[in-house]
């Protein structure tokens, strides 16, 4: 594991639900899980693609019912993140996955915010919350969620777009992103994970996003790569996720290093660490080993994470974190 100070910018809180907590919550809430214990559930963590993962990810959210459940989930993540060198976390959540099960948006947001609001004091981790729309649901549904979020906007920094990408281009969400921008929300979107480079362009040009989640398939379009580099658009890469969901065959073949060499502002993140066998410190270590990254390249990834973070309201924290990166002693690892 690498303890270099870092920001985690691409993390789905529902993807941090470890099997142990899932069974605890299932019992507490009287939810029956179709698995014969923790090991049986872990054996189900074998995915053929994004869709097969999303099926399990959504099925497991059934155990999350009360505000306390969401607080406990976020606390558990923050403890693990802090232990892996995370100083700042921008945490995504999927409101529709819960609202469709009858859990009110307020329960989700207030439960998460309870843990996030005390995270800096308890864990030394500053936080932001990013509300994601499920792109395989309708644009109207996304707009309803944005409307429902209005009483909770003081807890929410930005909006994102996730779930099954193919066939659901960013342009489908033009209006809801425009409305989110008018409310002062920051904008990110998954693009180029399984969808084509054109989806990355649309996320930038139609939705006006500031960061791209994944962006891996941008590499198929050299002009797009030039633009991403020129405009310093951050890409929040998730190498372990890409291997587990078969976007790349092996970690050794992951283009992270090539993307750094091409001048792209890339960051390393965990996506859904309970499902992909690694939190972000583990991920830094794994890419270092697999790709032979130098200490300076690891420092660059850590610096990028703070530069790409939504820390504009707290530049002093960004500077402190960057100074910690500069002073980091790799001999401690």
Distance (Å, rounded) from C-alpha 104 to C-alpha 87?
30
Confirm or reject binding of residue 69 to Zn ion (CB under 5 A). Answer: no
Closest CB 102 distance from ligand ADE, rounded Å: 21
Other CB atoms within 10 A of residue 216 CB: 26
Confirm or reject binding of residue 241 to ligand ADE (CB under 6 A). Answer: yes
Hey, which residues does 214 pair with through a beta bridge? 191
Helices marked H in 206-294 — which ranges? 222-230, 239-244, 256-261, 280-291
Between residues 213 and 328, which has the closer beta carbon with respect to Zn ion?
213
Binding ligand ADE by CB under 6 A: which of 15, 192, 215, 255? 15
x/- binding map, residues 283-312, to ligand ADE, per CB under 6 A?
------------------------------
Confirm or reject binding of residue 16 to ligand ADE (CB under 6 A). Answer: no
187: helix, coil or strand?
Answer: strand
Helices 222-230 & 197-205 angle (0-180, nearest 10) = 40
| Secondary structure (H, E, C), 60-79 | HHHHCCCHHHHHHHHHHHHH
Binding ligand ADE by CB under 6 A: which of 21, 50, 146, 176? 50
Chain residue at closest Cβ approach to ligand ADE: 162
Confirm or reject binding of residue 202 to ligand ADE (CB under 6 A). Answer: no
Closest CB 15 distance from ligand ADE, rounded Å: 5
Distance (Å, rounded) from C-alpha 158 to C-alpha 138?
19
**CA 13 to chain centroid:** 8
Closest CB 269 distance from Zn ion, rounded Å: 8
154 is in an annotated binding site: no
With beta carbons less than 8 A apart as the criterion, state whether 201 and 170 touch.
no
x/- binding map, residues 144-163, to ligand ADE, per CB under 6 A?
------------------xx
Between residues 57 and 279, which has the closer beta carbon with respect to ligand ADE?
57
272 is in an annotated binding site: yes
173: helix, coil or strand?
Answer: helix
8 binds, among ligand ADE, Zn ion, none (CB under 5 to 8 A by kind): none
Distance (Å, rounded) from C-alpha 325 to C-alpha 307?
12
Closest CB 152 distance from ligand ADE, rounded Å: 21
Between residues 55 and 117, which has the closer beta carbon with respect to ligand ADE?
55
Closest CB 320 distance from ligand ADE, rounded Å: 30
Nearest to 308 by CA among 8, 5, 4: 8
Confirm or reject binding of residue 271 to Zn ion (CB under 5 A). Answer: yes
Closest CB 50 distance from ligand ADE, rounded Å: 6
Between residues 194 and 271, which has the closer beta carbon with respect to Zn ion?
271
Taking the C-alpha atoms of 211, 214, 220 and 222 in order, what is their torsion angle to the nearest 10 degrees? 30
**What part of residues 89-128 is at the interface with ligand ADE (CB under 6 A)?**
none
249 is in an annotated binding site: no
How many Cα atoms sit within 13 Å of 234 on the Cβ side? 27
Residues 6+ positions from 70 with CB-CB distance below 8 Å: 13, 64, 107, 108, 111, 112, 114, 115
Between residues 193 and 282, which has the closer beta carbon with respect to ligand ADE?
193
Between residues 12 and 186, which has the closer beta carbon with respect to ligand ADE?
12
Encoded tokens for 95: 């409101």
Using CB under 6 A, list all residues that contact ligand ADE: 12, 15, 50, 57, 162-163, 190, 193, 241, 271-272
Query: Which residues sit at the interface with Zn ion, rule CB under 5 A?
Result: 271
Known binding site for substrate: residues? Answer: 272
């Amino acid at each position: 594991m690498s303890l270099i100070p870092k920001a985690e910018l691409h993390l789905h809180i529902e993807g941090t639900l470890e099997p142990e907590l899932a069974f605890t919550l299932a019992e507490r809430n009287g939810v029956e899980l179709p698995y014969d214990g923790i090991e049986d559930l872990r054996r189900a963590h074998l995915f053929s693609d994004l869709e097969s993962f999303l099926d399990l990810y959504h099925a497991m959210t059934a155990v999350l019912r009360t505000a306390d459940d969401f607080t406990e989930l976020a606390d558990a993540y923050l403890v693990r993140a802090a232990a892996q060198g995370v100083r700042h976390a921008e945490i995504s959540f999927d409101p529709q996955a819960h609202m469709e099960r009858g859990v009110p948006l307020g329960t989700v947001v207030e439960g998460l915010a309870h843990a996030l609001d005390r995270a800096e004091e308890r864990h030394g981790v500053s936080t932001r919350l990013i509300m994601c729309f499920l792109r395989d649901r309708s644009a109207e549904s996304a707009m309803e969620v944005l409307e429902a979020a209005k009483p909770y906007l003081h807890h929410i920094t930005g909006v994102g777009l996730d779930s099954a990408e193919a066939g659901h281009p960013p342009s489908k969400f033009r209006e809801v992103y425009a409305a989110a921008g008018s409310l002062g929300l920051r904008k990110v979107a998954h693009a180029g994970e399984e969808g084509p480079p054109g989806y990355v362009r649309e996320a930038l040009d139609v939705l006006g996003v500031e960061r791209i989640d994944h962006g891996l398939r941008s590499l198929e379009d050299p002009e797009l790569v030039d633009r991403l580099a020129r405009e310093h658009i951050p890409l929040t890469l998730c190498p372990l996720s890409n291997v587990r969901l078969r976007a790349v065959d092996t970690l050794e073949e992951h283009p992270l290093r090539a993307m750094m060499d091409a001048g792209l502002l890339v960051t390393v993140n965990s996506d859904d660490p309970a499902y992909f066998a690694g939190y972000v410190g583990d991920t830094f270590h794994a890419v270092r080993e697999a790709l032979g990254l130098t200490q300076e390249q690891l420092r660059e990834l850590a610096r990028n994470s703070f530069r790409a973070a939504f820390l504009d309201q707290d530049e002093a924290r960004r500077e402190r974190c960057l100074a910690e990166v500069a002073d980091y002693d790799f001999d401690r690892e």
